[in-house]
Copies of this chain bind each other. A is one copy, B any other.
């Protein structure tokens, strides 16, 4: 679930101050500790974290590249405000990118990776039967599943795009809108079909099912937001 383990350097923890700051701020923004739309004051944040403004600015720069903050010259940076339209945009991109990732995963995942994915899915199935109320683990499980498939594509650029950029934005939406999905059972079934296509090494079908899965998830989110 963390982003630094697969992508970043070999060292155990991020060495440089800016790296740690970036991780900290990213988590704070994603989890809503720093309110969406709020202005980021460089002097204040620097003081709070006990670092220089220079280091902070580099961290903010990275956050901007990941679309978590928006910056205007000579005016300052604000945490992004999430809109319904932007959420749709994200889902469209996810559909395209994860569809391709799944296609590639059907070709490139090792037999062992596929087996592990099957085990993971079985665990999810048990969790759903045992504690149907606990939506948190379902969400976590859903992320795990998608995460592994993306890794299985073996396309490093694609992995970075999804895991380092898009997924954080998506988690931010989840925190902000407090999404508790009532369709964990359906999602589980869809994961099952999808995995079958991967086991059969059928890229075309795998991509198709993933795209349907994400569209279905999107429709669910749309419905939930309109209910409010």
Contact = CB atoms under 8 A, between A and B. Distances in A.
Contacts of A104: 92
Nearest to A160: B67
* SS class, residues of chain A in contact with chain B: helix
Contacts of A57: 58
A62 interface: yes
A74 interface: yes
Contact of A73 (B15, B54, B86): B15
B155 A92 contact: yes
Given A16-B73, A73-B15, A157 B93 contact: yes
A73 B19 CA distance: 9
A152 interface: no
A125 interface: no
A172 to B, nearest CB: 13
Nearest to A164: B65
Contact of A97 (B58, B72, B97): B97
Interface residues of A, number: 33
Given A54-B54, A62-B61, A65-B65, A89 B158 contact: yes
Nearest to A155: B89
A182 interface: no
Interface in A176-214: none
Contacts of A97: 93, 96-97
A216 to B, nearest CB: 17
A96 B100 contact: yes
Interface of A: 9, 11, 14-16, 19, 54, 57-58, 61-62, 65-67, 72-74, 86, 89-90, 92-93, 95-97, 99-100, 104, 155-158, 161
12 contacts: A14-B73, A65-B66, A67-B157, A86-B156, A89-B156, A89-B158, A90-B157, A92-B158, A93-B155, A93-B157, A93-B158, A161-B161
Given A89-B158, A90-B157, A96-B100, 10 more contacts: A11-B73, A14-B73, A15-B73, A54-B54, A58-B61, A62-B65, A67-B157, A93-B157, A93-B158, A96-B96
**Which 3 pairs across A and B sit closest by C-beta, in order of nearness?**
A65-B65, A96-B100, A96-B96
